[in-house]
Amino acid sequence: MMKKLLLIICILVTGCTSKTEFGPCIGINQEKKPDLRYEYSGWNIAMGVIFAELIAPPIVVVLNELQCPVEKI
């Protein structure tokens, strides 16, 4: 059981996008840089939903990795 939980956590940590070539992803309360255009990360949201029973992954996604920069304005 513990090995499965560790494997799931490893998949989540490596599966979420934390930055792009334009900069780091931001959470719901973080400030956007005015020279970048941000979009919601569908992959990160999906990972948060899939691992919702673990409680921590959705919190991490919402607070740190909800929107990622996709281009410079």
End-to-end Cα separation, the chain, in angstroms:
47
Phi, psi for residue 34 in degrees, rounded to 5: -65, -20
Q: State the pLDDT confidence band at 7, using cuts at 50, 70 and 90.
A: low
pLDDT > 90? residue 72: yes
Summary mean pLDDT of the chain: 85
- Residue 42 is which amino acid? G
**Statement: residue 52 has pLDDT above 90:** no
Mean pLDDT of 3-20: 71
Q: What is the pLDDT of residues 13-47, one digit of tens each?
A: 556 788 899 999 999 999 999 999 999 999 888 88
Q: Where exactly are the structural domains of the chain?
A: 2-72
